[in-house]
Amino acid sequence: VCVGYLDLQERLPSSVKIFVCSSLISRAWRSVSTSHALLRPCPVWIQCRSCILSFTDPLMPACGTSGVSRPLKGHYSQMKELHDRWRLSTVNRDFSVCPSYPQAVIVPKSTDDDMLEKVAKFRQGGRFPVLCYYHKKNGMVIMRSSQPLTGANRKRCREDEQLLQAVIDGSDKGYIIDTRSSQQALQARMTGGGLESKSCYSSWKRLQRQMERGKALQESLIKLVEACRDESNNMDRWLSKLENSKWLSHVQTALSTAGLLAECVERDGHSVLVHGSEGTDSTLLISTLAQLIMDPSCRTLEGFLTLLEREWVQAGHPFQQRCAHSAHSHARLQQESPVFLLLLDCVWQLWRQFPLALGFSEALLLRLATEAYASNYGTFLGNNQQERCTLGVKENTHCLFQALLRPRERDCYSNPLYEHTELAIWPSVHPQSLQLWRGFFLRWTPQTHHLEEAQEEIRNMVIEWGKLALSSCPAST
């Protein structure tokens, strides 16, 4: 089924979409991936471009219902600290201002919707600066956007300048973390893009932190997968291929940039605006990691899934384009890039360095990595909320995140060693501290299976010990 679908989709024009039952595709692919007849079963590396379920199951949560998929309005109403200086704007209610933004966004209270529409025209793709994180300890925030469209003539937008000034109202300065190199940012001017000039944004200090994206990141993944499939048993060859893939270098860059962002907010006490070019890839990557570093509420199972819903699904990461095929596919699409997989790898590094600080297990990260490419659910369909509304994803599919929070699933993906801490978790980015994510990239090797069995046994022992400890406690009066 999978081979026939993929072959047919490759032969059709990109404008033609096939509507199939995603559960059929996923079940068929799982049976292929776990077949003992295959010497090298590969992980799921496909995604149905427009898979719409044609059935409803009362036991499965529908996409967009209450719970982890609650709209931004629910998140805003719970953050009472925001209400003095921030408001919930529905300027994008019909997706006309920014197609890749959700219908509601959080912006400074002093900015009206007319101003936001003008700022949107000055930012690539209409992605004007919006709030994505409020730090309760000191009131500082993380904003995200796309690059300003200054162009070669160095155009300016006074509404954009006023919006950013409103963000740091009462503070001496803020930081702009640009995920491009200085040269890339300057070159972007020639194609209509650009950066915030010091003269117009005098209260903001720009920090350039280059992060690879697009084709470079995809080629890195392809080289890593090829290295993991090497059967030569030659140590020098393995180490050489691993180094040439540069995948761990991308992990290091992402974690160090997220650490810089968290340090600006947590330690220095300044608000930060994050953007690259489009603001849909590396921007979301480092803002998510920074929130995991600083905010303990994001480290629980439900908190982490809510974070992904807010910062990736609703924020407009183009899953359909980025996860269209895989490192195993012969097709080389311009828009394909494993940014979400890089995020999960970085989270795994945090999970390994702080085994008690995260409330979810490695199994959850492996499940999410698989679901991003082939899934029974509609969570990762489309490229943004507008497309999902057009396709009827909310009405016709089920929500992965809510399914993972059902009691049986929650037990499987929770970390039994989890201990809540209010402290920030600062990752080490030294080369000796970063490791290859064996559970994912070497998941089909016998050694990894033995490790998984050992981890499951330890998990069961911890759970049983917890039950015994509870049963031995005297009943409260």
| pLDDT tens, position by position, 220-269 | 998 999 898 888 878 989 899 989 999 999 999 999 999 999 999 999 99
Question: What is the helix (H) or strand (E) element at residue 142, kind and residue range?
Answer: strand 141-144
The pLDDT of residue 323 is above 80:
yes
**Start-to-end C-alpha separation, the chain:** 60
The pLDDT of residue 36 is above 90:
no
Q: 323-327 contacts: CB < 8 A, separation 24 or more?
A: 323/47, 323/372, 323/373, 323/380, 324/47, 324/49, 325/45, 325/46, 325/47, 326/45, 326/46, 326/373, 327/45, 327/218, 327/221, 327/222, 327/224, 327/225
> Which SS3 state, helix, strand or coil, does residue 86 take?
strand
Q: By C-alpha distance, which of 455, 379, 381 is closest to 69?
A: 379
Q: How many residues does the chain have?
A: 477
Tokens standing for residue 429: 């980015």
Largest CA distance in the chain: 75
At 21 the pLDDT is 43
Q: Give the dihedral sign, CA 67/72/73/76.
A: positive
pLDDT digits 0-9 by tens, 416-445: 889 999 999 999 999 999 999 998 988 877
Q: What is the mean pLDDT of the chain?
A: 82
Tokens 């007849």 correspond to what residue? 37
The pLDDT of residue 127 is above 90:
yes
